[in-house]
Structure 1
């Protein structure tokens, strides 16, 4: 089977896609582009994804997919033997779809603002306000998810890791960082810690999203 091509960067949303492909045992290669850090990378990404965002995934068929939640759901369906999502007949399917889209719409989307507050700030003085308010919204959203979903086992949907666990874990590592996440979502904390130490992903995390900058303990203002 031809492999996948992942356009992404270390520590970005593409790491959830890369982790999923790793667990599925699917061949893939990464084209490293960090459009949030580099104008040249953003320009290089534009012909692939006009939104200039990662992840972008080229399927073995040659078709392009964007939007991380959609990519993860598709990969779960494409590789059912990996057991990374409940199937359509499962009573857990609505829960899976609800919270995958919740993370995408309510939390992940705010990082477009947080990566570069000048995109929406009328002047420099407003940027700190945007960072503070988006951080508060993220904490509120994590608390809402924590109150709204009862883990069904070691992970959110049972004793096996799912795409939802991967997505949660990656996004929870971003600002306002893990300490704030643990405070807002104490029931979700054991889930992300379990994904952090998943043996099948140990070398992957070390390479693609290591805790080397205080993310585990530091709660940055804003």
Structure 2
């Protein structure tokens, strides 16, 4: 049994909310950096841990493997209730917390398996272009529908930061990028700007998901 978490991840990827959560919780962890979409070698390295060849994959201190970013985030938050990064099981906000934590990977994150390599589903280059355009529009539509149904305070569930806010903040920086996100999800835009500016995460964003020129799209 180890005292640290081992995160198989990549800068800018779905491991970002997991790593950010570990930072906030003060957990000991190390990252094994492999971006499976960049090379066969990286995909093979991730595949040796997660047969889906996707990040994040986390080895818990117990030695157990966890995959699926939403599951990892919920587990981390529930395992450290004193930090308040998720509503308690009996809290009024818990149902909506679970709803949106599952909505994100089911409706939005899943689009990126297609977008990372449209040839997985497309018969030719023309079809790939159509898939890229339509998945970008689907992602924007899903952000719009979520925004219409939430009533944020300082954060999506109210006045306390949760792993849901970290999840949305990272994913809102992916295609179709923040300029579109701000247009279609104005209520959540204030939340992600607040998380961007959280001083506890300033070093983390700079190291792992830097605000470089043109990052908003």
Normalising by structure 2, what TM-score? Answer: 0.97
Q: Distance in 1 between matches of 2:93 and 2:122?
A: 41
Asked whether the equivalents of residues 174 and 215 of structure 1 are also in contact (C-alpha less than 8 Å), the reply is no
- What root-mean-square deviation, in Å, do the aligned CA atoms of Structure 1 and Structure 2 show? 0.9
| SS, match of residue 53 in structure 1 | coil
Q: Distance in 2 between matches of 1:59 and 1:79?
A: 14
Q: Distance in 2 between matches of 1:37 and 1:98?
A: 32
Consecutive unaligned residues in structure 1, runs of 5 or more: none
- Residue deviations 1:51-70, cap 9 Å, x none? 00000000000000000000
Q: CA deviation at 1:125?
A: 1.4
Q: Distance in 2 between matches of 1:106 and 1:38?
A: 26
Consecutive unaligned residues in structure 2, runs of 5 or more: none
Q: CA deviation at 1:213?
A: 4.7
Q: Distance in 1 between matches of 2:27 and 2:80?
A: 8
Q: Which residue of 2 aligns with 1:199?
A: 199
| SS, match of residue 50 in structure 1 | coil
In the alignment of these two chains, the number of paired residues is 216
Normalising by structure 1, what TM-score? Answer: 0.95
Asked whether the equivalents of residues 154 and 160 of structure 1 are also in contact (C-alpha less than 8 Å), the reply is yes
Q: CA deviation at 1:156?
A: 1.0
The structure 1 segments of at least 4 consecutive aligned residues displaced by more than 3 Å after TM superposition are none
Q: Which residue of 2 aligns with 1:172?
A: 172
Asked whether the equivalents of residues 169 and 195 of structure 1 are also in contact (C-alpha less than 8 Å), the reply is yes
1:94 matches 2:95: yes
Q: Which residue of 2 aligns with 1:144?
A: 145
